[in-house]
Amino acid sequence: MDITWLGHSCFRIKGKDVTVITDPYNPSLGHTLSKLQADIVTLSHLHPGHCYTEAITSEFKEVKGPGEYELKGTFITGIATWHDDAQGQKLGRNTVYLLEMDGIALCHLGDLGHLPSSELVEDVGDIDVLFVPVGGVSTIGGSRAAEIVRRLTPKVVIPMHYKTGTLATELEPVDKFLKEAGVKETVSQPKLSVSRSNIPTSTQVVILDYPR
The mean pLDDT values, 10 residues at a time, for the chain of 212 residues are 94 96 88 87 84 90 95 94 74 89 96 86 92 88 93 96 81 91 87 93 92 72
How far is 107 from 99, CA to CA, in rounded Å?
Answer: 6
How far is 48 from 5, CA to CA, in rounded Å?
Answer: 18
Write down the pLDDT at residue 2. Answer: 97
Burial status of residue 54 (CB atoms within 10 A of its CB: 0-12, 13-18, 19 or more): exposed
Write down the pLDDT at residue 168. Answer: 65
**Spatial contact of 186 and 205, defined as CB atoms under 8 Å apart:** yes
How far is 128 from 199, CA to CA, in rounded Å?
Answer: 7
| Whether pTM exceeds 0.85 | yes
**Strand bridging mode 104-108 / 93-101:** antiparallel
Write down the pLDDT at residue 115. Answer: 84
Provide the CATH number for the domain formed by 2-205 in this structure.
Answer: 3.60.15.10
**Spatial contact of 100 and 108, defined as CB atoms under 8 Å apart:** no
